[in-house]
Amino acid sequence: MEGGTRLATHADVDGVTATLTAAFATDPLWTWAFPEARDQAVWWRYCIASAFRYPGVWISGEYAAVSVWIPPGGVELTEEEQRGLEPLIRGLIGARCDDVMELLERFETSHPQGEPHYYLSLLGTHPDRRGEGLGMALLTEIRPADDPSASASSGDDRKINRRTVCRARAARLTSSTARVSRWSPSQESRSRNRAS
């Protein structure tokens, strides 16, 4: 994989934001929520900046693809960021804010509860690099967020493998869109399952 896969740092926020903005630029759901590309960029930066609280933002190559994982017990936005969400969105899109806030609430209610898990918050591939398998490679090569030192190429059984530990469920959001949530059980949960 060109440039390899690495854990992102705060210095990567511009590149990660640019990749996700480009990846979702024509997405029906996100262009409905934020019709202007500059507003989408503000939105993605807000989400990404929060995600850097955890070691779970991964980059493939030179920002060719990005994944954002939230660890077990983690949240996508802090309480303070949650309080700032409505004013941010209202400032970006005005009167449509209530509709987008409802959409975000539906996302939250579709988030799986119960079993500890890593939550795949975002996965995007730059449009110039689509079709190369880079996004899916991020799912098969990434180490759990609680152990960033584990080698992705070592065969370590703690790798997140889309075939064996990622689960998916769809939740109805609007009459024309659906969201697929992906998550992976935490290491503790996987260990418990192997023992039984």
Three-state helix/strand/coil letters over the chain: CCCCEEECCHHHHHHHHHHHHHHCCCCHHHHHHCCCHHHHHHHHHHHHHHHCCCCCEEEECCCCEEEEEECCCCCCCCHHHHHHHHHHHHHHHHHHHHHHHHHHHHHHHHCCCCCCEEEEEEEEECHHHCCCCHHHHHHHHCCCCCCCCCCCCCCCCCCCCCCCCCEEEEEECCCCCEEEEEEEECHHHHHHHHHC
Q: 155-166: per-residue pLDDT in tens?
A: 333 344 433 334
Q: 65-116: per-residue pLDDT in tens?
A: 999 988 888 889 999 999 999 999 999 999 999 999 999 999 888 877 777 8
In the chain, the number of structural domains is: 1
Q: 5-62: per-residue pLDDT in tens?
A: 899 999 999 999 999 999 999 999 999 999 999 999 999 999 999 999 999 899 998 9
CATH label of the domain that carries residue 125: 3.40.630.30
User: Residue 93's domain spans which residues?
Assistant: 5-195
